[in-house]
A and B are shown apart, each in its own frame.
Chain A
Amino acid sequence: MSALHGTRVVEIANERIAYAGKLMGDMGADVVLVEPGQGDPCRAYPPFAEDAAASGDKPESLYWWHYNTSKRGIALDLEQSAAREAFLALIASADVLIESEAPGRLAALGLDYEDLRAVKPDLIHVSMTPFGRDTSRRDEPAVDLTILAGGGPVWSCGYDDHSIPPIRGGGNQGYQTGCHYAVLSALTAIFHHGVTGEGQFIDVSMHASANITTEMSSYFYHVEQQTVVRQTGRHAMPMMTMPVQIKCKDGRYATTGMPPRSPKGFGDLYDWLDELGLVDQLPEALFLDNARHRESIGFADIGVDDEVTAIYAAARDAITLICKNSTVDDFFNGAQKLGITVGSILSPEEAYENPHFVARGYQVEVEHPERGDAIRYPGAPYQLPASPWKISRRAPRLGEHDDEILGALGYDAAAREAFRETGRDR
């Protein structure tokens, strides 16, 4: 039985909060996604399933597919009073509400926490907004880019060349980070509800989420009032450090950074150089060969003990030389087998097809009955054998579950049809 089996979560469709609903739905919650009659704008976000487009059907968004797995969907235009009544009935049947509406909108509709708890006293209401509900910046417009730029992550990311702008990492990580905290909040409150029966209101700020997800950028400032600066492919630090990314023989990049940890490790590195016939290209390799006979070698002695300093420098040069003369796969596997911590910089699809993750069952298939096939999706981010992660269904089509959900709440066919209208009566 999934961990959230029996928990109903209502989600008001919004690009910012979509990932939170997926995280909870994939762990067994009954997530009911409430969209306006014309559909959520994310249904039109690229990329699209191109085979369907080619055959003349309306193209379906893969963005929509990914972020809305394991949810059921209903169309309710909350601007209409009849739909708002149905929404209240839905809330009365639910345990958790997650939403990212602009501060003030739900209050204006008579659907904020105080209104909702009148029909569901123990409701857990998670509001996730760009700046929180109560700060003076709450009404500022924001997108993922501006959240990451104002919130700290962007300052730390980019290139050694500071004439190039800082870089915002791809994939809407600002939204996703906010969603991680929204779900942590919901689960914390669900556990508390399990102990006391009590619900509550939770105010999550995406700006705050970004701010505390910057590692040293924040705590170097807290403790030493130092400012870190961005550097290509490695940690932003108060000072510039040595490069760690190396282009391999096949044009792909590896990331290095951790030297061997023991005298034997340095000796093994020499042997690897030797195997590849590269010893002649690196006179300093001698230091590695000698290092294997030492009793110990410590990072702390760099710059203190001349021989240790030379050994580490030789190790660094050896790793770089091997990397440039290998494919990234050979370098990665060869180094890791010697206990040297390095990585291969994979694109998302290369990571997805990587034999390690395939062997662990990361690839999962999700049925798309109307297409008559199953699509391979990203799989479980954690493996809980007693309460497994599982995509229970593909993303809902617009209003797909109106009948079963609203019907169960006592609304007949005519009433359900009316909710789909987009007219305004306020």
Chain B
Amino acid sequence: MDPTNAAPFVPDRNGSARPNGTALGSIRICDFTGQLAGAGATKWLAAFGADVIRIEDPVKQGMWDVLRNMAPFPDDRRGPDFGGGFNNHNVEKRGITLNLKTDRGKEILAEIVKRSDVVSENFAAGVLDRWGFGWNALRELREDIIYVSNCGFGHTGPYAEYKTWGPIVQAMSGLTFTSGLPDNEPAGWGYSYMDHTGGMYMALAILFAVIHKQRTGEGQWVDLSCTEAGLSLNGPAILDWTVNGRPSRRADRPEGNRSSSPPMAPHGIYACAGDDDWVSIACRDDRDWEILSEIIDVSWARDGKWKTLAGRIENQDELDERITSWTESQDKFEIQRRIVGADVPSAAVQKPAERIDQDPGTSEFGLWPVAEHAKMGRLTVDGLPAHFSKTDWTIERGGPCVGQHTDEVLAELLGYDEDEIARLHEDGIV
């Protein structure tokens, strides 16, 4: 933030941005994203005040984003306005419908792009281009536009035409491989870790680009490949390969719940009393082990061979069996309480109800806001894991119903009168 290049940011659009006092209130995003990998990115921006306008197809009722009509559902109603996942990822956004197969629809989109800082999408490569809104067309509409495209393999390279979803991205980036037990098939990730994380990299890319524009006035096209973002998450293993020629595909990898970097033992997840109940325990050093052995307080734990890290690692199979023999008859939270109370890391493997309803670590943080959805009513959603002293996030409005803000956006942002808007409805443009 060198004062010489920090020219004050002056919003230069025609329409009015949302009431300010928010961190990102001066940014407008013309948003084509969907599902989690895209919608997750603009969720962050919307919660910090950016005006995120989802553009959806009136003919398909926004169902390009299949989460619109996918479980979980709060009641028996079904349809594009009742998907619980869609609501979770799209809070604080506005939604309009626009038929981009019509010339009038394209004209309206062009008007919106001219009033936006960012155009974001996570279609397969080339889709926006086919609609006539590729990078060159966008730049003609607005010279300083930021265009962020997010797809599995990026817009160039031999796999540019290939399709992905979260589990494919995880497979192709090394993340599925590195989750599992040695000599077993990969366990992988039980959720789309790279849809979440791809969304984060997309939000990072958008913020880097708007900061660059704030400082220089320059827009750009950001080509994001979720798989490359995923590849970046196993850095030390890649350097072990490029420097030492040692592959991760080898006898003792992946390492299950153990840790070799840094080396720790015990470092595992152990069975407890109760139905599918487990507790994680990690001894960072010899002191942690000494404390744990005193808590266990059984003769085997006093054996001298456990006193050093080398001894614990050499006999780790036996160590894990011994610890299981101690944990398996006990309550997971009771073990956690005793070990953490002695300043050694331990955590019960928490089930959703335990971490959402019974954990002061989340409730005291205010992690589960309730948002008001126009048709589904008040629903708990995921909040954000950061609090800002001056410009904190707000999550109050649920995800938009199909076309919920069409009239509002046409009137406020584009200045259309009632007759014009009525005509657009009649003609099936919106």
Closest residue of B by beta carbon distance from A122:
B1
Known: A226-B72, A255-B188; 13 extra A-B contacts, CB below 8 A, are A47-B240, A151-B355, A201-B388, A202-B387, A205-B361, A221-B356, A222-B379, A231-B190, A233-B185, A245-B185, A350-B249, A352-B174, A381-B231
Known contacts A177-B197, A180-B197; A41 and B262 CB within 8 A of each other: yes
A396 vs B107: C-alpha distance in the bound complex, in angstroms?
53
User: A204 near B385 (CB under 8 angstroms)?
Assistant: yes
* Given A385-B220, A386-B212, A255:B231 Cβ within 8 A: no
Contact B185 A232 (CB under 8 A): yes
Query: Could you tell me if B204 and A149 are in contact, using CB atoms closer than 8 angstroms?
Result: no
Task: Name the distance in Å between B159's Cβ and chain A's nearest Cβ.
Answer: 4
Could you say which residues of chain A place their CB within 8 Å of the CB of B248? 347-349
Q: Does B208 lie at the interface of the complex (its beta carbon under 8 Å from any beta carbon of A)?
A: yes
Contacting pair A378 B159 (CB below 8 A):
no
Known: A165-B257, A221-B352, A339-B163. A185 touches B168 (CB 8 A): no
Query: Within 8 Å CB of B402, what residues of A?
Result: none
Q: Find A152's partner among B215, B224, B350, B383 (CB 8 Å cutoff).
A: B350
Cβ-based interface call for A411 (8 A):
no
Q: Specify which of A173, A192, A209, A341 is in contact with B24 (CB 8 Å cutoff).
A: A192
Which residues of chain A are within 8 angstroms of B72 by Cβ–Cβ distance? Answer: 216, 219-220, 222-224, 226
Contact indicator B222/A157 (Cβ below 8 Å): no
Q: Please tell me if the beta carbons of B260 and A46 are within 8 angstroms of each other in the complex.
A: yes
- Which of these binds chain B: A76-84, A353-361, A416-424? A353-361
Binds B, one of A135-143, A278-286, A288-296: A135-143
A344 to chain B, nearest CB (A): 6
The answer on a CB contact under 8 Å between A383 and B227 is no
Do residues A386 and B218 form an inter-chain contact, with CB atoms below 8 A? Answer: yes
CB distance from B117 to the nearest CB of A (A): 11
Contact check, A190 vs B240: say whether CB atoms are below 8 A apart.
no
Q: Chain B residue with minimal CB distance to A258?
A: B165
- Alpha-carbon distance between A56 and B109 when the two chains are bound, in angstroms: 65
Nearest-Cβ distance from residue B172 to partner chain A, whole angstroms: 5
Contact A381 B190 (CB under 8 A): no
* B242 and A347 contact, CB distance less than 8 A: no
CB-CB under 8 A from B131, the residues of chain A are none
- Size of A's binding interface in residues, CB under 8 A: 156
> Could you say which of B27, B165, B204, B263 contacts A46, with CB atoms under 8 Å apart?
B263
| Contact of A272 with B by CB under 8 A | no
- In the complex, which range does the number of interface residues on chain B fall in? 35 or more
Are the CB atoms of B185 and A165 closer together than 8 Å?
no
A145 to B317, CA, bound (A): 18
Residue from A166, A184, A211, A216 within 8 A of B200 (CB atoms): A184
Flag whether A187 is at the interface (Cβ < 8 A): yes
B236 touches A66 (CB 8 A): yes
B350 in contact with A155 (CB, 8 Å): yes
A204 CB contacts on chain B under 8 angstroms = 385-386
Across the interface, which residues of A come within 8 angstroms of B382, CB to CB? 211-212, 218-219, 222
Q: Knowing A46-B261, A195-B26 are in contact, say whether A149-B241 is a contact too (CB < 8 A).
A: no
Interface centre among B214, B253, B257, B390 (most CB of A within 10 A): B257
A228:B208 contact, CB within 8 angstroms: no
A154 & B356 in contact (Cβ 8 Å cutoff): no
Q: Cβ of A309 < 8 Å from any Cβ of B? A: no
Is B346's CB within 8 Å of the partner chain A? Answer: yes
With a cutoff of 8 Å between Cβ atoms, the chain B residues found around residue A214 in the complex are 191, 352
Interface residue? A217 (CB, 8 A): yes
Q: In whole angstroms, what is the CA distance A158 to B255 when docked?
A: 13
Partner of B385 from the list A41, A143, A205 (CB cut-off 8 Å) is A205
CB neighbours of A41 from chain B (8 A) = 262
Instruction: With both chains docked as a complex, state the minimum distance between the C-beta of B317 and any C-beta of chain A, in angstroms.
Output: 14
CB pair A170–B254 under 8 Å, yes or no, is yes
Name A181's closest neighbour in chain B (CB-CB).
B385
Q: Which of A2-10, A104-112, A315-323 interfaces with chain B? A: A2-10
Chain A residues near B235: list those with CB within 8 A. Answer: 66-67, 377-378
Whether A181 and B205, one on each chain, are in contact in the complex, defined by CB atoms closer than 8 angstroms, is no
- Within the assembled complex, what's the spacing in Å between the Cα atoms of A221 and B247? 39
Which residues of B in the span 14-66 have a Cβ within 8 Å of any Cβ on A? 23-24, 26-27, 36, 44, 48
Contacts of A132 in B (CB 8 A): 361, 365, 387
Q: Which residues of A contact B279 (CB under 8 A)?
A: 149
Measured in the bound complex, the distance between the Cα atoms of B387 and A209 in whole Å is 12
Q: Which residues of A contact B413 (CB under 8 A)?
A: none
Hey, which chain A residues are within 8 Å of B73, CB to CB? 223-224
Contact of A348 among B174, B204, B207, B224 (CB under 8 A): B174
State whether the Cβ of B93 lies closer than 8 Å to any Cβ in chain A.
no
- Given A209-B385, A219-B84, A349-B241: A188 in contact with B24 (beta carbons within 8 A): yes
CB distance from B333 to the nearest CB of A (A): 10
A142-B345, A386-B218 known; A208+B365 contact, CB < 8 A: yes
Judge if B282 is at the interface, Cβ distance under 8 Å. Answer: yes
**A209–B44 alpha-carbon span in the complex (Å):** 13
Given contacts A143-B282, A222-B380, A244-B167, contact A215 B201 (CB under 8 A): no
| B156: Cβ under 8 A from any A Cβ | yes
Instruction: State A134–B366 Cα separation when bound (angstroms).
Output: 11
CB of A157 within 8 A of CB of B1, answer no
Question: A348–B269 contact, CB under 8 A?
Answer: no
Interface residues of B in 312-365 (CB under 8 A from A): 336, 340, 343-353, 355-356, 359-362, 364-365
* A357 and B208 contacting across the interface, CB-CB below 8 Å: no
Q: Which residue of B lies closest to A219 (CB)?
A: B88
Q: Are B352 and A192 in contact (CB under 8 A)?
A: no
Q: Which residue of A lies closest to B223 (CB)?
A: A383
Q: Which residues of chain B are near A307, meaning CB under 8 Å? A: none
Question: Which partner residue on chain A sits nearest B246 by CB separation?
Answer: A47
Q: Are B204 and A346 in contact, CB atoms less than 8 angstroms apart?
A: no
Give, as a whole number of angstroms, the nearest-CB distance from A275 to chain B. 20
A146 in contact with B165 (CB, 8 Å)? no
- Asked if A146 contacts B190 (CB within 8 A), the reply is no
Within 8 A of A (CB), among B161-185: 161-165, 167-181, 184-185
Q: A349-B249, A384-B220 are in contact. Are A62 and B349 (CB under 8 A)?
A: no
Is the Cβ of B269 less than 8 Å from the Cβ of A169? no
The answer to whether B114 has its CB under 8 Å from any CB of chain A is no
Q: How far is A348 from B23 in the complex, measured between Cα atoms in Å?
A: 37
Give the Cβ gap from B203 to chain A, nearest Cβ, in Å: 6
A167/B154 contact (C-beta < 8 A), A181-B385, A336-B163, A382-B204 known: no
Contact B243 A232, beta carbon cutoff 8 Å: no
Query: A235, B383: Cβ atoms under 8 Å?
Result: no
Report chain A residues within 8 Å CB of B243.
49-51, 62, 375
**B367 touches A (CB below 8 Å):** yes
Decide: A150 and B348 in contact? CB cutoff 8 A: yes
CB distance A236 to B191 under 8 Å? yes
Name the contact of B209 in the complex, choosing from A50, A183, A387 (C-beta under 8 A): A387
Q: Is there contact, CB below 8 Å, between B196 and A215?
A: yes
- Complex contacts, A158 vs chain B, CB 8 Å: 187, 190
Q: Complex formed: what's the CA distance from A226 to B236 in Å?
A: 37
Q: Does B211 contact A194, Cβ atoms closer than 8 Å? A: yes
Interface hit among B2-10, B299-307, B418-426 = B2-10
